[in-house]
A and B are shown apart, each in its own frame.
Chain A
């Protein structure tokens, strides 16, 4: 693992950081819109804050997504001198990455419309969410055969992950109130999470079987160390989610004290950022001769 990281050149390091930023911001933007729709008991203030968060995250997502293109051009060129090289930019733009970024940016622009507190704006933003999730199906191994199945599975996988990431802020915000609306909001998220975790796991497992054939064999690969690190953080995240649902949510309902739940959500947020960062490293430093 250390050897892989030590071998990274500056362009690859910049690409990983931008990719991690794109993951966090795009999933946060999409997830905020999903939760805005789902959590019907958010009060006016919480709803306005969530709409703002979705729009700001979308703007950050547009910046990070767009930066992918010149960075890919720089990789093709062999250094930052190729950042704006026309020939390299043309190759990057005409690649699956170029198409994916185009769809993602369109979706993120649509999400910024959520700032307008109108019903039609909400629908445009939801359409943007679908575009953002679908953009992940236009790149990498989502474009492998069987393409229709993999594209669908990746889209579902990203939607479920977005739901989770986008839930942190409204839950954190409402838990601080400690009132009945807060309890209903947290409970509603917990009910939806059971379905979403199922979708996340189900889609993920099928993708893995399609691409790898033998999931156990994956662990014998050199990059298994990254995978192990990621698994450890995912385990921590799911443990926190279970703790929230089984202990802290009932405690909030009983005592009205949201502080323990808010503390747990802060740790969940940190765990998710680590997971997305490790994913960005992992998907960029896979097999020798393959930088993705």
Chain B
């Protein structure tokens, strides 16, 4: 009976612990400008990624309506920032998608994406 109790507990906790931790301490908690689904004008020149804690943003790319992918330049990858500002190329009307990658303060690799629309 004692052995069975030990093993039952092990089944529950070992399985839970070995994989569960990573997702628990991170909320999404970020904002973007333009926002996801937002429509902006063709005169938009910058984009922002805003975080609750300083993040190291390593790569930001933008897919334009003509299918081309642009690398968006901003603060250096080894610099942790709460607000990352990137310079956008000249925008034509259409749908755009931004993909970003980086690292959180505790070292977790992070990624995300959002889309926005450009109209005259």
* A-B pair number, CB within 8 angstroms: 163
Provide the residues of chain B in CB contact with A292, threshold 8 Å.
22, 108-109
Is B115 in contact with chain A by the CB < 8 A criterion? no
Assembly CA distance A72 to B16 (angstroms): 25
Q: Contact between B77 and A279 (Cβ–Cβ < 8 Å)? A: no
| Per-position 1/0 for A68-87, Cβ under 8 A of B | 00001001111000100001
Q: Given contacts A95-B107, A194-B6, A289-B110, is CB(A212)–CB(B11) below 8 Å? A: no
Q: How far is the CB of A213 from chain B (nearest CB, A)?
A: 8
Q: Contact between A201 and B6 (Cβ–Cβ < 8 Å)? A: yes
B1-33 interface with A by 8 A CB criterion: 3-4, 6-7, 9-26, 28, 30
Q: Given contacts A75-B109, A78-B101, A95-B103, is CB(A282)–CB(B19) below 8 Å? A: yes
Closest B residue to A201 using CB positions: B10
Is B44 in contact with chain A by the CB < 8 A criterion? no
A228-243 interface with B by 8 A CB criterion: 230-231, 234-235, 238-239, 241-242
Closest A residue to B56 using CB positions: A91
Is A115 in contact with chain B by the CB < 8 A criterion? no
Is A117 in contact with chain B by the CB < 8 A criterion? no
Closest A residue to B57 using CB positions: A76
Provide the residues of chain A in CB contact with B42, threshold 8 Å.
none
Q: Contact between B23 and A286 (Cβ–Cβ < 8 Å)? A: yes
Assembly CA distance A125 to B109 (angstroms): 32
Main secondary structure of the interface of A (DSSP, over half): helix
Assembly CA distance A207 to B17 (angstroms): 7
Q: Contact between B102 and A141 (Cβ–Cβ < 8 Å)? A: no
Q: Given contacts A211-B24, A212-B24, A291-B111, is CB(A197)–CB(B10) below 8 Å? A: yes
Provide the residues of chain B in CB contact with A246, threshold 8 Å.
3
Provide the residues of chain A in CB contact with B9, threshold 8 Å.
201, 205
Query: How big is the A interface, by class?
Result: 35 or more
Is A10 in contact with chain B by the CB < 8 A criterion? no
Q: Contact between B107 and A96 (Cβ–Cβ < 8 Å)? A: yes
State which of A72, A94, A231 has its C-beta within 8 Å of the C-beta of B78.
A94
Is B59 in contact with chain A by the CB < 8 A criterion? yes
Q: Given contacts A211-B21, A221-B23, A242-B3, is CB(A227)–CB(B16) below 8 Å? A: yes
State which of A75, A194, A197, A279 has its C-beta within 8 Å of the C-beta of B18.
A279
Q: Contact between B17 and A141 (Cβ–Cβ < 8 Å)? A: no
Q: Contact between B24 and A76 (Cβ–Cβ < 8 Å)? A: no
Assembly CA distance A211 to B103 (angstroms): 20
Provide the residues of chain A in CB contact with B3, threshold 8 Å.
194, 242, 245-246
Is A257 in contact with chain B by the CB < 8 A criterion? no
Provide the residues of chain A in CB contact with B78, threshold 8 Å.
87, 90-91, 94
Q: Which of B7, B61, B110 has the most CB of A within 10 A?
A: B7
Assembly CA distance A211 to B18 (angstroms): 12
Provide the residues of chain B in CB contact with A221, threshold 8 Å.
23
Q: Contact between A238 and B16 (Cβ–Cβ < 8 Å)? A: no
Q: Given contacts A141-B21, A242-B7, is CB(A290)–CB(B106) below 8 Å? A: no
Assembly CA distance A198 to B14 (angstroms): 10
State which of A76, A96, A208 has its C-beta within 8 Å of the C-beta of B16.
A208
Assembly CA distance A239 to B10 (angstroms): 11
Question: Can you sample 29 A-B contacts with CB below 8 Å?
Answer: A72-B109, A76-B58, A76-B59, A76-B77, A76-B102, A82-B59, A90-B78, A95-B103, A143-B107, A197-B6, A200-B10, A201-B6, A203-B17, A205-B9, A205-B17, A208-B21, A215-B12, A218-B16, A230-B18, A234-B14, A238-B11, A242-B7, A279-B18, A286-B22, A287-B23, A289-B30, A291-B108, A291-B109, A291-B110
Question: 10 closest A-B pairs (Cβ-Cβ)?
Answer: A96-B107, A282-B19, A286-B23, A204-B17, A76-B58, A231-B15, A205-B13, A141-B21, A289-B112, A234-B15
